[in-house]
Amino acid sequence: MSRHLALRSGNPALKPSTFTNQYASQSEGVMTLNGTVNKTGISLLLVLASAAYSWVTPAMHSLAMPSALIGFILAMVNVFKPKLGHIFVPAYALVQGVFLGTISMVFNKMYPGIVVQAVFLTFGTLGALLLAYKSGLIRATENFKLGIFAATGGIAFLYFINFVMGFFSSGIGIISSNNTMGILFSAFVVVIAALNLVLDFDFIEEGAEKGAPKYMEWYGAFGLLVTLIWLYLEILRLLAKLNSRR
Amino acid sequence: MENPAIILWIPIIVITLLSLLKMIKKSGANGKPWIRIEKVEKNE
């Protein structure tokens, strides 16, 4: 338990106060690791099914931007109303699937085969980090959490500035550039996104240890899903940059 | 390079191998071997 004294995650969905006021009553059951794993699996299947459908259905391609916006709104609902996770986490997964399917199709047209590589790399990273976490090779110490939290915040700030600059037909070159600095930046973002998975594992373990209520299983699954989607998109971007130099 | 994705697999493989090594070392320290060979008695 001492490992979790000051819980800190770079993932905005998994903030330190999440479990503080969430104690389970005896009637509703408690959060378990198995339950969270099952709900993560269900959410991932929904994302994959929705993405596959959007990929092969041309009518869905125009929904990429609206689905990104609705996805953001649903994410906010999940953050502020975790008790409704059983409705809004699957909804978030389905909507994000539409966005990911369309984006992936566009990338695959530009660089054939890139999506399969990105999917395998994402799940490969998840598996490797899960093993590293279970073996104790990587521990979510307080300094580790602080470092990842700061780096994630820095990246989010940079992306926000880039988003605002986009309205003035400008942007931060390093984010989209395929030169050496651009690739190093993308690789750094991939590493930070991957290390966020460790914080998510720690967060879920903390919830199960503290006996958080059953509905927090959906919340834990949601946090992991957010990180996995971010990691996939960053790997896709990095692969696109590397392929564009060939 | 023919396939740039290969570079990205290197850290994943290294982390996996190091984790497995750590797990093997841990189980060794506990005195619990992964495989136990027992002496087979006559007519067993």
Q: ipTM of the predicted structure?
A: 0.78
User: At A42, is the pLDDT very low, low, confident or very high (cuts 50, 70, 90)?
Assistant: very high
Q: Which residues of A are less than 8 Å from B22 in CB distance?
A: 135-137
CB of A207 within 8 A of CB of A31? yes
3-class SS string, A179-216: CHHHHHHHHHHHHHHHHHHHHHHHHHHHHHHHCCECCH
Among A84, A67, A76, CA closest to A215: A84
Cα of first residue to Cα of last residue in chain A, in angstroms, is 49
pTM of the entire predicted model:
0.84
Q: What is the mean pLDDT of chain A?
A: 89
Separation in Å, CA of A232 to nearest CA in chain B? 13
Span A156-187, pLDDT tens digits: 999 999 999 988 888 888 888 888 999 999 99
What token pair was written down for A120? 């395998």
Q: Which residues of A are less than 8 Å from B18 in CB distance?
A: 132, 137
What token pair was written down for A214? 């059953």
Residue to substitute from B13, B16, B17, B26, interface A, most A β-carbons within 10 A:
B16
Residue A7, classed as helix, strand or coil, is: coil
- Mean pLDDT within A178-199: 94
Among A16, A108, A51, A23, CA closest to A225: A51
Q: Which residues of A are less than 8 Å from B19 in CB distance?
A: 128, 131-132, 134-135, 137
Are residues A131 and B1, on separate chains, in Cβ contact within 8 Å? no
Are residues B23 and A135, on separate chains, in Cβ contact within 8 Å? yes
Are residues B8 and A137, on separate chains, in Cβ contact within 8 Å? no
Among A125, A135, A239, beta carbon nearest to B5: A239
- Asked if the C-beta of B20 comes within 8 angstroms of chain A's C-beta atoms, the answer is yes
